[in-house]
Amino acid sequence: MSFGSRATVARQAYGPACVGIDPHPSLLEAWGLEDDVEGLDRFASTCVEAFAGKVAFAKPQAAFFERHGARGMAVLERTLQDLRHTGTLTVLDVKRGDVDSTAQAYADAYLDDDAPMAADAITVSPYLGLGSLEPFLQTAHKNDAGVFVLALTSNPSGPDVQHARTADGRTVAGRVLDHLREANADAEPMGSFGAVVGATIGSTEEDLDVNGPLLVPGYGAQGGTVADLERLFGHVWDAIIPTTSRGVLAAGPDVASLRAAAAKVNDELGVAGAGR
């Protein structure tokens, strides 16, 4: 099954929420763990126990593993492998972006189904040109994986680039969305190539229907509300994957409490999506 198909099934089975696995130093401390590889490993394994087969999507943030060096990356590799085939799809937040052979190497590292660090989907940056996305899209297609491309992010300086106009008058974000729409053409129930669109961007005149999934960071502790989601994504509700990290992880390290916090998020989103 393509990532788009698997994402649709997972949303229907568990709800749309994506729970971040973000071993930030402050969260390690809050969980009573040391900011070292042992604490990282304990944090990640607890998240796997809590969320595997309980939520549709889990999103490890690679940077918080990378900061611990090779041993930290080994923990990330094991986390991805432990989540595989549990019903929970992994979205590895790496925001890679490069050209030609380097982009292909990143794609092979994270999207090839036989790679040690294979994920169901990854995040990528388009700002080396839309052509730089092709190795990721092609490798994902070959391996039934997914790609989420930065389009409209919530960080304050994002509009400096994303709202800039190209020679044809389109915004950069609009060109990215157009490219994804073309890549997902005729896919059913939806394509495997999605956009990253922040829950707290306020408003947009862009067409967010790319016939693919929309990864929506910023829900919950970062300020995004159900009302924000309804306003921005009401017409594409069945495609959104709202992500939350601190709002759920703050309930740790107790596994039952983590599961309950994730279930609460899905309940909130389920009420909002009822009858659509």
Integer Cα distance of 229 and 232 in angstroms: 5
Asked if 226 and 42 count as a contact pair (C-beta separation under 8 A), the reply is no
Active site residue 264: no
Whether a cis peptide bond, with omega within 30° of 0, leads into 23 is no
Angle CA 81–242–129, to nearest 5 = 80
From the candidates 54, 59, 95, 264, which is the catalytic residue? 95
Alpha carbon of 182 to those of 8, 40, 225: distances in Å?
Answer: 20, 40, 30
With 0-12 / 13-18 / 19 or more C-beta atoms within 10 angstroms meaning exposed / middle / buried, residue 238 is: middle
Integer Cα distance of 11 and 265 in angstroms: 13
Angle between helices 69-83 and 37-51 (to 10 degrees): 10
Query: Chain-centre distance of CA 179, in angstroms?
Result: 19
Integer Cα distance of 193 and 121 in angstroms: 9
Q: Which residues contact 174 (CB under 8 A, 6 or more apart)?
A: 206, 207
At 9, list the tokens.
């099934």
Asked if 88 and 79 count as a contact pair (C-beta separation under 8 A), the reply is no
Whether a cis peptide bond, with omega within 30° of 0, leads into 253 is yes
The catalytic residue positions are: 95
